[in-house]
């Protein structure tokens, strides 16, 4: 059983606490930190948390606490993690790890030097659908993963600090793209080095100094491509979708707008339907269990089990660092209007992997390019001669 200090009492602090105190879980938030005494008190009362404070150091050094969760705005992650690591506590940090890769690397190194457990709270890599899909991919159902397209789009964040790039580190890319990038890494293989990024981003709608819409391509050393599509301008709720294509198969995931529960109401039921839903009448797509559907439940199970088992969780702060490095390359690409390298000062995966196209043997002289059954029932096989390279076609 773990005793947790929750730093931050905003949207994500609430989702995390709702998950941790949900069902029959025995881990407990035992102290809540907020800079405002009223909010700290209210949060503690809402979630039956015995203590609350406006002093961050007091929260992380609380003798009863063994785990610190950082659920604060992005510009406060470093200070909070450093304090928790210095206090010798296990540290779990929400996404993005830092505002940029340098900040993320300092955070990672502080935890490693202090020798404390660390986990990256990337919930969307833990949704039940994603875990199921990852298992299928690990078992080879899709063959070699070639393309992961991940999309997160909604009408924009709910608090002022997100819109200020000094505090947040950027716009939709650092806020939403960090999810999409890590989803792609999870399917492509976290050992596979991300090499370079080409990205378009622009400020289409909002009067801010950051991008509110972006589309990027991340090229991996294996030849796989990760595609992220992020927007703060999307109307109609939260569009959370992933598509994974491999040499042997395809997977499509829809996490939010078509979950299998669809309802029409002319009058509405209450104010809140699901995160980022813009209307409470008409056709609605309620989400049965948001904490599970967004991955928070499986994420905390993995994190807290990992502490108990003395192993690393599925998502560590090293993953957060790699994601920040890819995000940095995306911003550099927008500026340069060209592919930009992913600068990884610390790469721990495979070195120098080559992009091997899968060669399918047909006979002693030929490789199979493609096989297709035609509308009249015939099977066509397209072949390539191994020596001459000549392409030909034979009936199957």
Ligand X SMILES: NC(=O)c1ccc[n+]([C@@H]2O[C@H](COP(=O)([O-])OP(=O)(O)OC[C@H]3O[C@@H](n4cnc5c(N)ncnc54)[C@H](O)[C@@H]3O)[C@@H](O)[C@H]2O)c1
| Interacting residues with ligand X (CB under 6 A) | 8-13, 34-35, 71-74, 76, 94-95, 121, 123, 159, 161
Q: Which is nearer to ligand X, 74 or 100 (CB)?
A: 74
Minimum distance between the CB of residue 300 and ligand X, rounded to whole angstroms?
Answer: 12
**Shortest separation between residue 167's beta carbon and ligand X, angstroms:** 8
Report the nearest approach of ligand X to the CB of residue 240 (Å): 10
CB burial of residue 194 (10 Å; 0-12, 13-18, 19+): buried
Which residues have C-beta within 8 Å of that of residue 50, sequence separation ≥ 6?
A: 30, 31, 44
Nearer to ligand X, 75 or 144 (CB): 75
- Alpha carbon distance 146, 196 (integer Å): 16
Kindly tell me which of 128 and 249 has the beta carbon lying closer to ligand X.
Answer: 128
Q: Whole-angstrom Cα distance, residue 342 to residue 114?
A: 27
CB of 140 to ligand X, least distance (A): 30
The span from the CA of 106 to the CA of 83, in Å, is 13
| Range list of β-strands (E), the chain | 3-7, 28-33, 51-53, 67-70, 90-94, 118-121, 145-153, 194-202, 213-220, 225-231, 239-246, 250-254, 263-265, 282-284, 340-341, 360-361, 366-373, 379-385, 391-395
CA-angle at 205, arms to 201 and 206, nearest 5°? 95
Q: Which is nearer to ligand X, 176 or 225 (CB)?
A: 176
**Minimum distance from residue 259 beta carbon to ligand X (Å):** 17
Provide, rounded to whole angstroms, the least separation between the CB of residue 385 and ligand X.
52
Cβ closest to ligand X, residue 185 vs residue 193: 185
Whole-number minimum distance, CB 73 to ligand X, in Å? 5
The Cα 238–Cα 278 span in angstroms is 9
CA distance 341 to 194: 9
Kindly tell me which of 246 and 320 has the beta carbon lying closer to ligand X: 320
Cβ distance to ligand X smaller for residue 94 or 245: 94
């Amino acid at each position: 059983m773990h005793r947790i200090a929750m730093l931050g009492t905003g949207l994500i602090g609430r989702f995390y606490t709702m998950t941790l105190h949900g069902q029959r879980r025995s881990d407990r938030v035992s102290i809540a930190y907020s800079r405002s005494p009223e909010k700290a008190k209210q949060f503690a009362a809402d979630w039956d948390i015995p203590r609350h404070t406006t002093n961050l150091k007091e929260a992380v050094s609380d003798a009863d606490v063994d785990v610190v969760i950082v659920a604060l705005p992005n510009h406060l992650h470093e200070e909070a993690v450093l304090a928790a690591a210095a206090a010798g506590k296990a540290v779990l940090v929400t996404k993005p790890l830092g505002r940029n890769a340098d900040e993320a690397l300092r955070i990672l190194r502080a935890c490693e030097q202090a020798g404390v457990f660390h986990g990256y709270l990337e919930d969307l890599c833990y949704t039940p659908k994603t875990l199921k899909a990852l298992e299928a991919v690990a078992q080879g159902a899709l063959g070699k993963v070639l393309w992961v397209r991940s999309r997160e789009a909604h009408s924009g964040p709910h608090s002022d600090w997100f819109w200020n790039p000094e505090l947040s580190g950027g716009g939709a890319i650092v806020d939403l793209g960090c999810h999409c990038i890590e989803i792609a890494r999870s399917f492509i293989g976290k050992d596979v080095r991300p090499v370079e990024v080409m990205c378009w981003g622009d400020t289409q709608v909002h009067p801010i100094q950051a991008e509110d819409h972006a589309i990027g391509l991340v090229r991996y050393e294996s030849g796989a491509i990760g595609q992220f599509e992020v927007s703060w301008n999307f109307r109609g709720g939260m569009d959370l979708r992933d598509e994974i294509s491999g040499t042997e198969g395809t997977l499509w995931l829809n996490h939010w707008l078509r979950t299998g529960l669809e309802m029409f109401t002319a009058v509405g039921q209450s104010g809140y339907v699901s995160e980022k839903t813009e209307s409470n009448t008409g056709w609605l797509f309620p989400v049965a269990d948001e904490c599970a559907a967004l991955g928070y439940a499986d994420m905390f199970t993995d994190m807290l089990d990992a502490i108990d088992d003395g192993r690393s969780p599925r998502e560590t702060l090293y993953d957060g660092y790699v994601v920040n490095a890819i995000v940095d390359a995306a911003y550099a690409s927008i500026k340069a209007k060209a592919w930009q390298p992913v600068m990884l000062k610390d790469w721990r995966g495979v070195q120098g992997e080559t992009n091997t196209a899968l060669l399918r043997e047909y006979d002693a002289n030929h490789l199979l390019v493609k096989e297709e059954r035609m509308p009249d029932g015939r099977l066509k096989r397209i072949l390539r001669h191994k020596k001459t390279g000549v392409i030909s076609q034979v009936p199957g």
